[in-house]
Amino acid sequence: MTGPSTARPPMDPDEEAALLDAIDKWVAGEVTPQVVMEHDHKDVWPEKLVSQMAEMGLFGATIGSEYGGLGLPSSTYAKIVMKVASHWMALTGIFNSHLIMAAAVERFGTEEQKQKWLPKFATGEIRGGLGLTEPNAGTDLQAIRTTARRDGDHYVLNGTKTWITNSINGSCYAVIAKTDPEANPRYKGMSFFLCDKRPDGGEGFTIGKKFDKLGYKAIDSAELVFDDYRVPADQLIGGVEGQGFFQATGGLELGRINVAARGVGIAEGALRLATQYAQERQTMGKPIADHQAIQLKIGEMVTRARAARLLTLDAAAAYDRGERCDMEAGMAKYFASEAGFQNAQEAMRIFGGYSYSKEYEIERFYRDAMLMCIGEGTNEMQRIIISKQWVKRNLA
Ligand SMILES: Cc1cc2nc3c(=O)[nH]c(=O)nc-3n(C[C@H](O)[C@H](O)[C@H](O)COP(=O)(O)OP(=O)(O)OC[C@H]3O[C@@H](n4cnc5c(N)ncnc54)[C@H](O)[C@@H]3O)c2cc1C
């Protein structure tokens, strides 16, 4: 099963430029270093920025206009993510995970589900994310233990999801569970549900341990705990059991393009900070940017950031043409996240001792960067996916 087409026409270049300009202005005015450092250092949810993102329509960025979203193609969306992430990567997680949940409903949901949920997702009235990972199952998604047993017009969920982005400040999640734990192969027994914290009886659905993280601060990561949680049967995405594995992994191409865009943002942001510092800081009577050792670093950083951007836009263009792009999305995710990590590291070296001070922004890029190498399928797995797909496309 490949799922419904992801094809979407490119945006009119003038309209795209105006939209990106508006994002630039918002970032310059609101996502300032002072605001970001304040929230990042104290690990506080950026409520005001979230309201502004809702007003700009970012929670509906990729949701079709017929459901109240902006209907952006993934290539335009990736450019927005790059811009925001080049100042504060964690902020993009607040709408990224939410939009992957929305994409699952838009691509695989019934028409009733789309009509009911997508307009509220688009305005940000209901925000959420994706509940795949469990304490014993990350990469090996088929090893999940959460079960969903049919009981009349409900399913009863039991199990724990972990590391879930937006778990505390969101209210609805696309959660994968086993409707047939004995199925062989295992993926045939997996189904995808929209689980919401209903004011009128989300009993049995609680938020567990909140993680105290190295980076990716201010955005919440915690456990979703289901203990005889009753979810209405009409919240089974697509209305048919056994499709969950394909529905969840079908969203990963878009998820990987989004993570790649965040990697590009980190790579470009670290480069921006390092370029400025290298011209201000003087040693031996001249700016360090004039020393060859620093020039070699900046030369590599610029090239990496540019290559990461091009690979990401290439994958997004394939996605927007409706083509299968697991290899392209995998290459973009792998390369761009490593580019972000390497550029953050090199920028730390350029900042010298001051890189260790929380008065400078570069330490945040360093703390945030590694997550991009892990989330949405680790970079070990990406290389395996790329290799398998490459060989398949080039059979001897
Ligand atoms: C801050 C943060 C936010 C997150 N947000 C979410 C979220 O919103 N929703 C969600 O569902 N999950 C989320 N995750 C979970 C994330 O997707 C997983 O951590 C990731 O998929 C890796 O799974 P794992 O941690 O269980 O590692 P494991 O799967 O245990 O992997 C450990 C190591 O083994 C390697 N490995 C595993 N299997 C293989 C194999 N077959 N071949 C080669 N190497 C292998 C991996 O590459 C890795 O290096 C988040 C994680 C973090 C840290």
* Ligand 1 pocket by Cβ (under 6 Å): 97, 129-133, 138-139, 163-165, 213, 216, 221, 371, 374-375, 378, 380-381
Q: pTM (2 decimals)?
A: 0.97
Helix, strand or coil, per DSSP, at residue 317: helix
What are 141-173's pLDDT values in tens digits?
Answer: 999 999 999 999 999 999 999 999 999 999 999
Cα 374 to middle of ligand 1, angstroms: 6
Q: Could you tell me the pLDDT band of residue 1, with boundaries at 50, 70 and 90? A: very low
Query: What is the fold, at CATH topology level, of the domain defined by 248-393?
Result: Butyryl-CoA Dehydrogenase, subunit A; domain 3 (1.20.140)
- Closest residue to atom 38 of ligand 1, CA basis: 139
State which of 132, 139, 387 you would mutate to test the pocket of ligand 1, scoring each by most atoms of that ligand within 8 A of its C-beta. 139
Say what the alpha-carbon torsion angle 346, 350, 356, 357 is, to the nearest 10 degrees.
Answer: -130
Cα 237 to middle of ligand 1, angstroms: 24
| Surface-to-core class of residue 37, CB atoms within 10 Å of its CB (0-12 exposed, 13-18 middle, 19+ buried) | middle
Q: Which CATH number fits domain 13-128: 3.30.465.10, 3.90.1150.10, 3.40.109.10, 1.10.540.10?
A: 1.10.540.10
| Pairing, β 190-196 against β 282-283 | unpaired
Q: What is the pLDDT of residue 251?
A: 82
* CATH (residue range 129-245): 2.40.110.10
State which of 130, 133, 166 you would mutate to test the pocket of ligand 1, scoring each by most atoms of that ligand within 8 A of its C-beta. 133
For the CA of 376, the closest atom of ligand 1 is 17
Helix, strand or coil, per DSSP, at residue 259: helix
Question: What amino acid positions are annotated as catalytic residues?
Answer: 376
Cα 263 to middle of ligand 1, angstroms: 17
What are 168-192's pLDDT values in tens digits?
Answer: 999 999 999 999 999 999 999 999 9
Q: Could you tell me the pLDDT band of residue 5, with boundaries at 50, 70 and 90? A: confident
